Amino acid sequence: MVEGGVRDIDDLPKNDANYTALTPLWFLERAALVHPQRKSVIHGSLHYTWLQTYQRCRRLASALSKHSVGLGKTVAVIAPNIPAIYEAHFGVPMAGAVVNCVNIRLNAPTIAFLLGHSLASVVMVDQEFFSLAEEALKILASAEKGTFKPPVLIVIGDENCDPGQFKDALDKGAIDYEKFLESGDPEYAWKPPKDEWQSIALGYTSGTTSSPKGVVLSHRGAYVMSLSGALIWGMTEGAVYLWTLPMFHCNGWCYTWTLAALCGTSVCLRQVSAKAVYSAIANEGVTHFCAAPVVLNTIASAPRDQTILPLPRQVNVMTAGAAPPPPVLLAMSKHGFRVTHTYGLSETYGPSTVCAWKPEWDSLPLEAQARLNARQGVRYIGLEGLDVFDTEKQTPVPADGVTMGEIVARGNSVMKGYLKNPEANKEAFANGWFHSGDLAVKHPDGYIEIKDRAKDIIISGGENISSLEVESLLYQHPAVFETSVVARPDEKWGESPCAFVTLIPGTEGSNEKDVAQDIMKFCRAKMPAFWVPKSVVFGPLPKTATGKIQKHVLRAKAKEMGPVKRSRL
């Protein structure tokens, strides 16, 4: 027996007084204490400090509580990157409720499904999208005749929009967001969740092949990923972050909460353009921003009169989504941007792997650096398990850079599950791992590299073709600005690659037939013959609100085009 009666170091009793649930809400309280006068959010002429943001979020939580919105309730937010959607990430969970940020590019029937499925008690909507929300609620009311209970409808005004929209919303009975805040207490005594696994956010998958699935995230996961994202990126205290990535997309990859942890500054960008990005870098001191590869392409290839080069400082860029083509990474690097490549899904709180840069790569040619940086890399600090599994044997594939399998993950930064969808949960978490549906190889150094979504693999004559690898080579053609490759029915091979292409500005007037022939000639010199696109289609590419190319739309278009005839090239 030793002093205090403790025989072993693990015999010390749990000190309940020290247990506090992990939640990113603590970050906001600390930011207001440490840097009360530092700018927290900038949006046009609106400038808030951390103290003001903390008070506004407490007001929001208080006002929601007065409307009986708390534990178990959901608050939907339909808005672009404006201060109110940032405030909702704190104010809603401070009331004990769950924040559901809705993609503003969705149509009314889809939004109606989301609002009904989540049983939204409150709908906060930016004035520009009020008519969209109004139409969605009408559809929902019609579908739920006799049982529909209208949610509290709050409209958010914006000086950058038509004032008539805002007035119209108020005339129809919507509550003014600012007046709603005024009804709340700036000193509201919010409480952290009793259980850190309590839900903090709900987000919906794209639902391109079925109804959208509701991804449920916890306070614990949000806390872990907020800090993990900062560490992985090397973000430091006081970072100035430009919101090019929509906050409705995976809660802004958790950087909504990270910015509070770092006492940094959020610069809101309502609409993304290369000129607006460069302007914010020059005028607001931006140090970091996130964007999909197609957005990086727009920034890298912007006309000289829309850029500010050389950059006044190094600007850190995080990209995820489709694998960024090495030529785009190379162009961004030459402009002075430091690009960090990550990968993840809504189900993993956004990015959860990173192509961690190694100092020994610095001496390699830029082209080789870009190729290495195009890989999806290794797990985040906050992700405990990551591997590539053989889809049939459910065992890890060899680290040979060739054998393909499915990316699987597990740990604190994986979702709680899909809302009201036990069958999808059973499938997603088979064998104790979350199954991503993305196909990849594992290199000898342990870094993974995505080859395709399972549904995007093109099977031509029994051979698998990675659409991403074909796209990567197409980007090397001097006339190609953007491209996406999908399967098209083929009379001889079953399927063959079909390339949808947007040309570099200034070359759109070229003879498309000649350009198509030149692209296919270029491809024959760069790739195996069965990889070469049998058809090339020109025109703008359909995209999501986050800049991702909508391959499901292109697949449908390729199918409508009919099969490639055997006599064709």
Residues 221-245: tens digit of each pLDDT:
999 999 999 999 999 999 999 999 9
Q: Average pLDDT of 2-8?
A: 57
> Distance between CA atoms of 498 and 486, rounded to whole angstroms?
5
First and final C-alpha spacing in the chain: 86
* Look-up of token digits 């690097």: 333
35: pLDDT strictly greater than 50: yes
125 is written with which tokens? Answer: 């909507």
- Helices 326-335 and 293-300 pack at an angle, to 10 degrees, of 50
Question: At 146, is the pLDDT very low, low, confident or very high (cuts 50, 70, 90)?
Answer: confident
Burial code of 433-455, b = ≥16 C-beta within 10 A, e = fewer? bbbbebbbbbbeeebbbbbbeee
Q: Strand, coil or helix: what is 453?
A: strand
CA atoms within 13 A on the CB side of 419: 24
252: pLDDT strictly greater than 90: yes
Comparing 437 with 181, the larger pLDDT belongs to 181
- Yes or no: say if 244 and 277 are a contact pair by the CB < 8 Å rule: yes
Residues 374-409: tens digit of each pLDDT:
899 999 999 999 999 998 999 999 999 999 999 999
pTM for the whole thing? 0.84
Tell me the domains of the chain and their CATH numbers: 47-219 (3.40.50.12780), 272-354+363-453 (3.40.50.12780), 457-561 (3.30.300.30)
What backbone torsions phi and psi does residue 341 show, to the nearest 5 degrees? -100, 125
188 is written with which tokens? Answer: 């509201």
State the chain's mean pLDDT as an integer. 91
Name the pairing type of β-strands 458-460 and 463-465.
Answer: antiparallel
**Helix or strand run (H / E) with residue 34:** helix 25-34
199 is written with which tokens? Answer: 């839900």
- Helices 25-34 and 83-94 pack at an angle, to 10 degrees, of 110
